[in-house]
């Protein structure tokens, strides 16, 4: 199996799948963000659709629950004029024992053009792109605790829009980094954009051990880690992925790491607060911060549609040209 960076790019460096932000060149990230900005500007028009993917079929394959990601991928595909099929795994033949391999081969035979895949198993989208349907564009919508590249890209878009070039910023990621595919992808994306100061804040039980190798500073006290940052990214406690009691209680987590107005004052003036959702009020964020002027959480959702439009358009364009 090829490495992820090689697998998602053509020999001349064009994007044919989006599987991970790890190893994505800065020029390609910037191109995706710039393309998304053009789509974003068109979303305020009375007619939001563009005909870029007319006649193409996008299949959403969500083997895990999702609200924002699945809905925004659905909206993005429709706004590009694609035909969209969302497979309900609970009622598909997978519930009758059909393997993932056979399900995908059948969809390939139906002339699908792009798969959006969310799966609980880390590496599932890589396996699909490499071994199952290499001529169909594959977008990773989250695999296990491994990667969530479109979330990282929409976060980078939001950061760039509100705070400018990440190469000039300090970014703190707070909470359950150990189980977070969002955090892993964002760290790789920030590194790819030249961010010089990335901080991880949380209890030792929720911080991965390899952060130092990624150039990330770790802090166990939120007061130490927030000092002077420009961007605060809050993460949900991924209790469904925890195999043991890594936290005494949600209340204690909020007391130690919850983002309150007083803690936010430790960051730079006009620092922005982000969250991939779903937010848990009173656990990782206080109401006054979630609803306050420095929160850009709903802007992230809006940007997510534009980013997913950009990724779909770019990957399908590359696949089409490589087969012509």
Residues classed as catalytic: 68-69, 96, 118, 148
Task: For 34-65, give the DSSP string.
Answer: HHHHHHHHHTTSS-----TTTT-EEEEEESS-
Contact at 8 Å (CB) between 21 and 185?
yes
The label of the residue with tokens 């629950």 reads: 65
Q: What is the strand order of the sheet 231-234 is part of?
A: 216-219, 197-201, 170-174, 231-234, 272-274
The label of the residue with tokens 């599932």 reads: 124
Contact at 8 Å (CB) between 26 and 192?
yes
d(CA 193, CA 198): 12
- Which is it for strands 170-174 and 231-234: parallel, antiparallel or unpaired? parallel
Query: What does DSSP assign to residue 324?
Result: -
Contact at 8 Å (CB) between 232 and 267?
yes
CA distances from 294 to 5, 6, 227, 286 (A): 35, 38, 16, 13
Neighbouring-strand partners of residue 273: 232, 295
d(CA 116, CA 138): 6
Q: Determine the 3-state secondary structure of 98 from DSSP.
A: coil
């Amino acid at each position: 199996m090829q490495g992820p960076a090689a697998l998602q790019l053509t020999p001349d460096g064009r994007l044919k799948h989006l599987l991970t932000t790890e190893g994505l060149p800065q020029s390609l990230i910037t191109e995706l963000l710039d393309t998304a900005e053009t789509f974003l500007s068109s979303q305020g028009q009375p007619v939001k659709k563009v005909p870029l993917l007319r006649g193409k079929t996008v299949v959403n394959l969500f083997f895990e629950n999702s609200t924002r990601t699945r809905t925004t991928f659905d909206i993005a595909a429709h706004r590009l004029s694609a035909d969209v099929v969302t497979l309900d795994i609970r009622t598909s033949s997978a519930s009758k024992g059909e393997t993932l391999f056979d399900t995908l081969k059948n969809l390939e035979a139906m002339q699908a053009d792009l798969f959006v895949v969310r799966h609980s198993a880390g590496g599932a989208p890589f396996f699909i792109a490499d071994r199952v349907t290499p001529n169909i564009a594959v977008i990773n919508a989250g695999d296990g605790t491994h990667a969530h590249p479109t979330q990282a890209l929409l976060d980078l878009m939001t950061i760039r829009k509100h705070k400018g070039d990440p190469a000039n910023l300090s970014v703190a990621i707070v909470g359950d980094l150990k189980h977070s595919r969002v955090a892993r992808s964002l760290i790789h994306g920030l590194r790819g954009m030249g961010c010089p100061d990335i901080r991880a804040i949380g209890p030792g039980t929720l911080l991965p051990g390899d952060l130092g190798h990624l150039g990330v500073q770790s802090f166990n006290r939120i007061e130490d880690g927030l000092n002077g940052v420009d961007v605060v990214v809050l993460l949900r406690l991924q209790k469904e992925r925890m195999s043991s009691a890594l936290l005494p209680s949600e209340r204690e987590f909020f007391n130690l790491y919850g983002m309150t107005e007083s803690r936010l004052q430790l960051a730079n003036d006009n620092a922005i607060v982000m969250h991939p959702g779903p937010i848990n009020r009173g656990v990782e964020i206080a109401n006054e911060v979630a609803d306050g002027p420095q929160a850009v959480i709903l802007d992230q959702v809006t940007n997510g549609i534009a980013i997913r439009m950009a990724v779909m358009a770019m990957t399908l364009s590359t696949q089409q040209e490589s087969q012509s």
